[in-house]
Chain A
Amino acid sequence: MASNAAVPFWRAAGMTYITYSNICANMVRNCLKEPYKSEALAREKVHFSVAKWVDGKPQKPIVRSDDPEE
């Protein structure tokens, strides 16, 4: 996998380590038996709203929701 290459393939594709590890973790959770699977998936829900600011003015906020994988 990540051999002596300059960058791992996922970083070359534009992912950060956090994105990579979240994807891995989510895949593992999807392969669990019930009830562990539904517990784990219910535990890890995402919701927040982010607004970038330019020059002291907020831009329109973007809501990222229910999206455990980036």
Chain B
Amino acid sequence: MFRQAPQLMARATTVAMRCRRLFSTDVPVEASADSTFVEAWRKLIPNIEPPKTPSSFMTPRPSTPASIPTKLTVNFVLPYSSQLSNKEVDMVIIPATTGLMGVLPGHVATIAELKPGVFSVHEGNDVTKYFVSSGFAFIHANSFADIIAVEAVPLDHIDPSLVHKGLADFTQKLNSASTDLEKAEAQIGVDVHSALNSALTG
């Protein structure tokens, strides 16, 4: 979307064209380096090559199509793995701070902060559910959805007895907490564990 008007400088192109071939998951280098930066660098520091920037390592996203696409393209990433990458699905339900929110193709562009809750992916008749601890979701106008979570586990990895114990512990801590920080921590504990509870039962 943003990268639809790349000002391709000849020099920037040659800099960006030095592709690395060996990574299969690596995206091809796009010559969309920030040209003002490159120019300013070359003026001041002629001896050293300007460093690359992240945008040159990313395939640009497609622009907003005229009609609503049929599928939603979802990227669900965790720090230690990319669970879903450019997967086409029908709908996802994200646990935003205001509650569960359904996202269909053609949804208005939104930034949502996630609270601990269940994230589900609907593809035809399959539903995959994860419990997400916290994170962000970006829905772009071109029916791309990026969900970035810090920790996400499939629901069957959760142990109910530990959840109940945790809930009881933190409820107790909340009552006995003195400082602001302790209260906040205990409140977070209560919230997370009650969300876990409802995820297991609901």
Give the interface of A toward B (CB within 8 A).
1-2, 9-10, 12-15, 20-25, 27-34, 36-37, 40, 43
Contact A30 B153 (CB under 8 A): no
Chain B residue contacts of A27, Cβ below 8 A: 133, 166, 188-189, 192-193
Which A residue's beta carbon lies closest to that of B152? A28
Interface residue count on the B side (C-beta < 8 Å): 30
A29: nearest chain-B partner, CB-CB: B151
Contact between chains at A2 and B185 (CB < 8 Å): no
The prevalent SS among residues of A at the interface is: helix
Chain A residue at smallest Cβ distance from B188: A23
Given contacts A10-B184, A30-B166, 20 further A-B contacts (CB under 8 A): A9-B184, A10-B188, A13-B181, A15-B181, A20-B188, A21-B133, A21-B134, A22-B150, A23-B188, A24-B116, A25-B150, A25-B151, A28-B116, A28-B196, A31-B163, A32-B158, A33-B159, A36-B153, A36-B157, A43-B80
B148-173: CB near A (< 8 Å → 1, else 0) gives 00110100011100110010000000
Known contacts: A14-B180, A21-B134, A24-B188. The answer to whether A33 contacts B150 by CB under 8 A is no
Kindly identify, within residues 76 to 125 of chain B, every residue whose CB is under 8 Å from any CB belonging to chain A: 80, 97, 113, 115-116
What are 18 A-B contacts with C-beta separation under 8 Å?
Answer: A1-B115, A1-B191, A13-B181, A14-B180, A14-B181, A15-B181, A15-B184, A20-B134, A21-B134, A24-B188, A30-B166, A31-B158, A31-B166, A31-B196, A32-B153, A32-B157, A33-B159, A43-B80
